[in-house]
A and B are shown apart, each in its own frame.
Chain A
Amino acid sequence: MPEDRPLTGNMRPDGEALDRAAYERVGGYKGLRKALGGMTPAAVIDEVKASNLRGRGGAGFSTGLKWSFVPATAPHPRYVVANGDEMEPGTFKDRLLVERDPHQLVEGMILAGYATGSDTGYIFLRGEYKLGARRVARALAEAYEAGYLGKDILHSGYSFEIHLHLSAGRYMCGEETGMLNALEGKRANPRAKPPFPPVSGLFGMPTTINNVETLCNVPHIIRNGAAWFQGLSRSKDGGTKLYGASGKVKRPGLWELPMGTTIREILEEHAGGMRDGVRFRGLLPGGASTDFLVEEHLDTPMDFSEVQKAGSRMGTGTMIILDDQTCPVGMVSNLEHFFAQESCGWCTPCWSGLGWVERILKGMEEGRGQPGDLEKLAFQTRFWAPGHTFCALAPGAAEPLQSALKYFRAEFEQHINEKRCPWK
């Protein structure tokens, strides 16, 4: 394994998935053997805590800390859920992981299950990831066959089952409590917190939910130790990160790089810079629900705290690049249309506000912008502040809009004043 790219360094160049034997050859399931062979669950949690692994779904919460929230006395069955409902626009990192190295996820889940004393795991996978689903299913079968899953794993006395569940397909299914409802066969509406999932989660039982990429890091941390993992990073947050870029760059793609690699490096070295004839205008650093950053932020290291300081969130770490040939209002309109469409319809600020914002932006694009529209848009972004709404969907939708109003205000005004989209 190329030491600096634990997540992707072992992937086959031909695009096929690593099977169990290949995965084992590069050190696969050694972490699991190590944990079951002598580490207590608490020791596994401590190792993960010490590694500074932070949640890769976007919120960046300490994984080890999250695992410690399931009390030792909590009732059974307890669940681990891998959130693979990768619906965030512009994000395709978990797809790579499930398609190319599914055993890495399986091992990570078993370790999470062992650490939290869980009995059953669910992989909640985006429904469109059909190839990934086939490969995960195969990996699960292989893991059962080899005794990594099922009763009395590796004769340790620990038992753990994993089920694969394909999402019926809504953005809300990726919100962790909406996902629990979806798994239970209910509308994917979010749940009130507290109680948090470690107390009352799937089927009312203690539940630990982690993103696919987060879980994929765990086998390496256990095998190689927290210090090694921290050492991979250029920042306080441990490990590597799958960074991506889409938009009019020369080489859109996905790269595993040290945590804290700067935006400029990702954009210019790995994505090859902007295509000829187009100029960089801004970017969403980690999916549609993050604030725009612009030229002045290009030297920001991509980690959870530095991007926050710059006024956005690292989110999923997969950037969407805006160029000068693309209408920023049109881009925001498209994003807000997505969010409006995906609102579950539960809380008023979200379902009503997004529908309104969607129409205002569409109107602007079609030359029907009105004086006062910008105030209405700005008002809605404040209306969607975290805590005002039931879950993070609308606050996420506020981020590209509020930052676009800040950085591209002139373009919005131009739409209203000229009653047309200057890019059309």
Chain B
Amino acid sequence: MNMATVYVDNRAYEMDEKQNLLEGCLRLGMDLPYFCWHPAMGSVGACRQCAVKQFRDEKDERGRIVMACMTPAAAGTRISIRDPEAVEFRKAVIEGLMLNHPHDCPVCDEGGECHLQDMTVMTGHDYRRYTFEKRTFRNQYLGPFLNHEMNRCIQCYRCVRFYREYAGGNDLNAFALRNIVFFGRDRDGVLENEFAGNLVEVCPTGVFTDATLKRHYTRKWDMEMAPSVCVHCGLGCNITAAGRYGTLRRLVNRYNGEVNGYFLCDRGRFGYEFVNSERRIRQPLIEGKAVSAEAALARLGELTSGRVIGVGSPRATLESNFALRAMVGADRFFAGISGTEARLLKLMLEVLRGPARTPSLREIEASDAVFILGEDVTNVAPRMALSLRQSVRQQPMEIAERLHIPVWMDHAVREAVQEKKGPLFTASVSATRLDDIAAGTYRGAPDDLARLGFAVAHALNSEAPAPAGLPESARDFVKEAAEALKAAKRPLIVSGASLASAAIIEAAANVAWALAGSMLAFTATESNSMGLAMMEAPALDAAQAAHADTIIILENDLFRRLPEAEQFLERFRHVVVVDYLENATTAKAELVLPAAPFAEADGTLVNSEGRAQRFFQALPPPAPVKESWRWLGSWDKLDDIVEALARAIPPLAAVTRAAPPASFRMSGAKVPRQPHRYSGRTAMLANISVHEPKPPADPDSPLAFSMEGNPDQPPGALQPFFWTPGWNSIQAVNKFQEEIAGPLRGGDPGVRILEAGEGTPRFFEDIPAAFEPRAEEWLVVPLHHIFGSEELSRHAPAVSQLAPPPYIALNPEDAARFGDEAEMLGQRFPLKRLAELPRGVAGVPAGVPPFAGLEFPMWSRILQAP
């Protein structure tokens, strides 16, 4: 970083000369108001809110108004924030923005965490001179996630910039002009982009607000918040979970510079409502009847006195899996996933211990050539797709550099770059949501995709084996992809296990290894898939052979894991399940122990990058609900079990460093979960008792269920919310970063426990034969859906509204012989015609009953529906 001396109000400061003055001032902790600038989206100079006075030199007393966001922090720049004309100008901008604003803060969901409120107060605009009628708009229905209240709009253009330019959506637009610009769709309808939920945070006021929050609304200042980690895929995006009165009210993004940055996907943001589901298990159950915790534990004691096996889960924490493993013995602990999935996870883990580094999402964003092999990233690991969408901007950025356009001058960069994109190649079974930015796409059955991958590897390095007889249609793709990767500075290969193909993973590994310096990212479908893999337990097929009277199943619905779950469970006299939602497996259990889901629990998850991240309770679990590891073991506190598992499982040794221990204090005090404005503490339960209850103790973390504590910035892993005086909205995150859009002060949360190894691995040699369609059978592959494929978010009402019903997808030519429906596995399903699906391949929605739990890929007959 080249620092430049910049004078602000006649004091010398050091700023990064590659940044603009707004970034420079904010980084130094100064309060300079802004709207249209966004740390991840740069400057466009629309709102004119960050005006400062710039002086030519020390002698210049007149100066001129400039926009800090549009002015480089060049050495010797002299500006004034306090200059009376600049102060008056910024006040006038707010006055202008507020002319038509409805001033409905008391009934607005944004109230109390509104950037517009904050900036209004900051500029000192406090008297209304506008005496005319305000303009009004008709609002739109935008789907189950977002409410629309256009009258509040201040025309900062952030929403369309995020939605269209950053996230690649095209159904939200700016319509009309002057002071009546309308930001919405051309007609009512569900917003199509998978990242639309970020508008809640991107919008500086209450135009786009969280529709799920509205159903159980609470002000930010009344929420109890904790640092948490998303559980709806394997990326481990950091979130702030916020609750009140025992219910989880909402999630917002928790900035982690290496992982999710400023944005989440909509499954992650809105899937949380499963925690409040009617199907939550809140009491121990014996034979379906509620019993006391004591009775449940007594029964657990009886059932575990004999031969017991434990089945862990990729959606349970390291701690809970370890507690079960410790209880039943390492040799009687099984991974809770199918044999196929276990083998694939193990393979991915081994590959990632090879020479190719597994990148963080920040590194993915910075990659300059991408080859996606076999994955529909948007639907499997959605937030990664948003990062990949930024990666194609890396190479064309050189055009802007050549023209001396700073990277932050967003529209000037886009105008110079136009539609040019860096190379991103996708090979998948069907169309994906990243095809629009792809330099090349290829469709094939899983084996053909693997063959394509092997061919790319061979094109990069002739020592890697080549598939014989690659079709003509693939050759150009192979050549172009290999050339693009070779020419790149930071090439990236993305793959995963979504198609249940080891050959695809091996091919991806060969590509990464064929090109020294490549990064290799694998998706993982569940929040702790990678952590569970690191525990190296055998899979469910091994459990089939185990002899035991009792099976203890941890946070796992085996009906989503095994085609014959029922027969599997029948082999055990006693079935014990520890989980938080009723499902087909709990229905078969003799004893059910009510587990705490993420919002009520502490624990550690390992994401697909190999980053161990700790999450903490936002709500105390309502007794007798408690963390699974508490049900299954006798650890007094989290740190004890973390230390035990770190000792017992060497690859996990570093997880103790995922967050500070419970003993951590700042100036002798804990970190408060409640904000300094937490209100009604003495009143909220006064209808029950006027005595304020003692806050629940928390032996597991340095966080307190209280507003008492140290208000200073804790280490990132303990940051419950972003809020500083004067900055009540989530934009306050600027105040917590070392650099604007850089790491949080003290480092980004989490600890990487998976690093690339030394040495040269041997290329995988086992190239599958080309796919041959069969006469009467189809190769059935899972098609993933951001909304619907993941188990827990299916129980969130907003997400479930967008989940697809079960279907069979076929290539239209294959489908020609069928009508609107077809029969498979003895059931009728609607038939979807997918032009891009290869012939001979059928797609069914992953994770959607009755397809959840099937072993993929499988061959199946598809019949004319009677």
Contact = CB atoms under 8 A, between A and B. Distances in A.
30 contacts: A172-B177, A191-B411, A194-B405, A195-B404, A342-B178, A343-B179, A344-B178, A345-B176, A345-B179, A346-B46, A346-B157, A347-B47, A348-B48, A348-B154, A348-B155, A349-B96, A351-B178, A352-B100, A353-B96, A355-B100, A355-B135, A356-B99, A359-B132, A383-B89, A383-B96, A385-B65, A387-B65, A387-B66, A388-B48, A388-B51
Contacts of B177: 170, 172, 342-345, 351
Contacts of A62: none
A262 interface: no
A363 interface: yes
A12 to B, nearest CB: 40
Q: Which of A343, A352, A354, A370 lies at the interface centre, i.e. has the most chain B CB atoms within 10 A of its CB?
A: A352
A172 B178 CA distance: 11
Contacts of B155: 345, 348, 351
Interface string B171-184: 00010111111000
Contacts of A345: 155, 174, 176-181
A341 B500 CA distance: 58
Nearest to B43: A192
A387 B96 contact: no
A172 to B, nearest CB: 8
Contacts of B131: 370
Given A348-B48, A355-B178, A383-B89, A204 B399 contact: yes
A390 B46 contact: yes
Nearest to B132: A359
Of all A-B residue pairs in the complex, the 7 with the closest CB atoms, nearest first, are: A352-B96, A355-B179, A345-B181, A200-B416, A345-B177, A343-B178, A204-B416
B178 A195 contact: no
A379 interface: yes
Nearest to A388: B65
A355 B96 CA distance: 10
Given A191-B412, A192-B409, A383-B92, 14 more contacts: A170-B177, A192-B44, A195-B404, A203-B418, A204-B417, A344-B177, A344-B178, A345-B179, A345-B181, A347-B46, A348-B155, A351-B178, A354-B178, A383-B89
Interface in A360-389: 363, 370, 372, 376, 379, 383, 385, 387-389
Interface in A118-156: none
Interface in B141-184: 154-155, 157, 174, 176-181
Contact of B403 (A195, A347, A356, A387): A195
A349 B48 contact: yes
A187 interface: yes
Interface of B: 44-49, 51, 64-66, 70, 89, 92-93, 96-97, 99-100, 129-132, 135, 154-155, 157, 174, 176-181, 399, 403-405, 409, 411-412, 415-418
Contacts of B176: 345
Contacts of B399: 204
Given A349-B92, A383-B92, A204 B178 contact: no
Contacts of B416: 195, 200, 204
Nearest to A362: B132
A192 B181 contact: no
Nearest to B44: A192
A197 to B, nearest CB: 10
B36 to A, nearest CB: 9
Contacts of A199: 403
A348 B178 contact: no
B179 A347 contact: no
B132 A363 contact: yes
A303 B190 CA distance: 57
Contacts of B418: 203-204
Given A195-B416, A343-B179, A345-B178, A200 B96 contact: no
B46 A376 contact: no
A191 B405 CA distance: 13
Contacts of A342: 177-178
B45 A390 contact: yes
A70 interface: no
A385 B86 CA distance: 13
Interface size band for A = 35 or more
Given A200-B405, A355-B99, A388-B89, A348 B412 contact: no
A346 B45 CA distance: 9
Contacts of A363: 132
A340 interface: yes
Q: Which of A187, A200, A341, A343 lies at the interface centre, i.e. has the most chain B CB atoms within 10 A of its CB?
A: A200
A341 B177 CA distance: 8
B179 A351 contact: yes
A191 to B, nearest CB: 6
A342 B177 CA distance: 8
Contacts of A372: 129
Contact of B93 (A200, A348, A376, A379): A348
Q: Which of A192, A195, A203, A387 lies at the interface centre, i.e. has the most chain B CB atoms within 10 A of its CB?
A: A192
A299 B48 CA distance: 40
A204 B398 CA distance: 13
B852 to A, nearest CB: 45
Contacts of B404: 195
Nearest to A379: B92
A203 B403 CA distance: 14
B415 A204 contact: yes
A200 B412 contact: yes
Interface string A188-230: 0001101100011001100000000000000000000000000
Q: Which of B129, B132, B179 lies at the interface centre, i.e. has the most chain A CB atoms within 10 A of its CB?
A: B179
B46 A187 contact: no
B99 A352 contact: yes
Q: Which of A172, A187, A354, A385 lies at the interface centre, i.e. has the most chain B CB atoms within 10 A of its CB?
A: A187
B178 A340 contact: yes
Contacts of A203: 418
Contacts of A376: 129
Contacts of A195: 403-405, 412, 416
A341 B415 contact: no
Nearest to B157: A346
A379 B89 CA distance: 10
A348 B99 CA distance: 11
Contacts of A180: 415
Nearest to B176: A345
A348 B97 contact: yes
Contacts of B132: 356, 359, 363
A351 B181 contact: yes
Contacts of A194: 405, 412
Nearest to B178: A343
Nearest to B135: A355
A187 B403 contact: no
Contact of A192 (B48, B99, B129, B412): B412
Contacts of B51: 388
A349 B48 CA distance: 8
A388 B44 CA distance: 14
Contacts of B49: 348
B47 to A, nearest CB: 5
Contact of A191 (B89, B129, B415): B415
A28 B27 CA distance: 62
Given A192-B44, A200-B412, A187 B174 contact: yes
